[in-house]
Structure 1
């Protein structure tokens, strides 16, 4: 991998977790990083963190869930880069954990705006400059859960599954324009995303099955898995490789458990998920059930 020659890269959701790790790593590798944040205060914190490491990056305030904010911010980036960013890393995301029965329409729409529609909106706004230049890179950050639907996380899995499908289509549609598109599928890494999922479960719990076990599971996982640096390294690889892969799976669980899930029969994967989450696999036996009427 050669040095990027100050190629500009937009990183969305760059103020924490995978986004922050990616922005700081790319800035240290010579990329011209334009990190997006939902507020100037959060942007200032990221700038200070970069400066403490002897790195420099630029920021733009952007809410991927708001179309007007996306248009305004990407317009600013066109001016900042003299024609548009060379690459985009769509990382911004929210978990919105909870059973399908408990997640409201409003919550589901917000999740889809952030995880799916916002990401593709950023792609659509970045593509004219890439097409005019005759080259560019797009890296969309999905999740192993996009291929492993997880109970009490159904909307998150659905959004990431859809993002994966659109990314594969975009890769084929943009190949002739010199735009290389990659999908990154992280497994479990210690970030604030899992903490937010725990908070989501606490707020959505109406006494439903599986909530207490799932909160304990997410908390335990977040305490035991590594930080997001391996994902940041993979994103850098996708941006720096002459022939980037179409898909990168990051983490032992994503590389092994996801393919295992895909070849397992549904009855077996259902049983495993019921056991892990504590969700009852069947309705409780009612008193008198099964007895023949006199």
Structure 2
């Protein structure tokens, strides 16, 4: 059962805002928190998606409220957070920054516009929500922030460099924010999921097709890999449980790494020399290590 009340009123159910709650990790988190008794306010980019989330919750016997929010738009963030402040009588006790996009593709193929949009959603938008939520938390002298990063923030992966960069930066800012806000009673945690079956991997496949429809080196292999992974990995509920634990614990961890793949690959990558991790990434991604020439294999074949 979720903790209830604040330091001044233990009868008040604590409220939590969850961004990107219309699907994947966000939806699983919003529904789980609602089942645990939290006052959940889930955000979605459109009213249609917000209404669909409400219907799903009602079908499961859970109640939550919704707000339309596009984290990439500063005006939308200000309006949505002002609405949350009205709905909660002073601002949410906690926020979960979950909204994100993959923008898969080789670095040379991702445009400035695509990269800026990814950074707005994955990084700047999350920190914007933090800035808007913090005044209310500081007034109360307590609050929680959970930022959802990724294991790929510490294991940068080819064809997903911008995504890894945005999550690496989000992790760094989260660790700084935790230290900066400790005196204000605001506890900040980072959640690093591995691979879980969500629409994110499906969108990454679409990104790859749109970024290089001709199927350049590595693209076909990565599309197949993303599709296969999405079929084999579990759903996002383990991540939702980690987020729920972080919000409910009196002393939340600084970081929650979720998923066997992330728990194994993150330390293994950190301990291994770059020449070895580069070789593994070449083999898995299908990207060639040498320039094709007379008597050599073509792209995608010379991988080891």
State the TM-score bracket (shorter-chain normalisation): over 0.9
CA contact (8 A) 1:3 1:29 kept: no
Cα contact 1:14–1:23 (8 A) shared by 2: yes
Native 8 Å contact 2:20 2:43 kept in 1? yes
**Distance of 1:4 and 1:234 partners within structure 2:** 19
Matches within 5 A, 1:163-182: 163-182=170-189
Q: Deviations over 1:123-166 (max 9, x none)?
A: 00000000000000000000000001100000000000000000
* Cα deviation, residue 208, structure 1: 2.0
CA distance in structure 2 between the partners assigned to 1:39 and 1:266 by the alignment: 43
SS at match of 1:279: coil
1:3 Cα deviation after fit: 3.4
Counterpart of 1:47 (choices 50, 54, 67) is 54
Quote the offset at 1:282 in angstroms.
1.6
Deviation, 1:4, is 3.4
8 Å contact from structure 1 (residues 98, 153) kept in 2? yes
Q: TM-score when scaled to structure 1?
A: 0.96
Q: Which residue number in structure 2 is paired with residue 222 of structure 1?
A: 230
CA drift of 1:64 comes to 0.2
Post-superposition Cα deviations, 1:145-200, rounded to whole Å, max 9, x if no partner, equal 00011000000000000000000000000000000000000000000000000000
Task: Point out which structure has higher relative CO (alpha carbons under 8 A, 6+ apart).
Answer: 1
RMSD (CA atoms): 1.2
Alignment of 1:247-286 (within 5 A): 247-286=255-294
Q: Does the Cα contact within 8 Å between 1:18 and 1:228 map onto a contact in 2?
A: yes
Change (3 A) 1:145 1:10: same
Q: Which residue of 2 aligns with 1:113?
A: 120
Q: Is residue 4–residue 240 contact of structure 1 (8 Å, CA) maintained in 2?
A: no
Deviates more, 1:181-190 or 1:5-14: 5-14
How far apart, in 1, do the equivalents of 2:92 and 2:80 lie? 12
Are 2:155 and 1:148 equivalent residues in the alignment?
A: yes
In structure 2, C-alpha distance between the alignment counterparts of 1:93 and 1:239, rounded to whole Å: 20
Query: Is 1:14 matched up with 2:21?
Result: yes
Paired residues in the alignment total 288
**Shift, 1:2, TM fit:** 5.5
Unaligned runs of 5+ in 1: 288-294
| Unaligned runs of at least 5 residues, structure 2 | 6-12, 296-304
Counterpart in the other structure of 2:93: 86
**Partners of 2:104 and 2:204 within 8 A in 1:** yes
The aligned residue for residue 27 of structure 1 is 34
1:3 aligned residue? 3
Partner of 1:77 in structure 2?
Answer: 84
How much does 1:207 deviate? 3.8
Shift of 1:215: 0.2
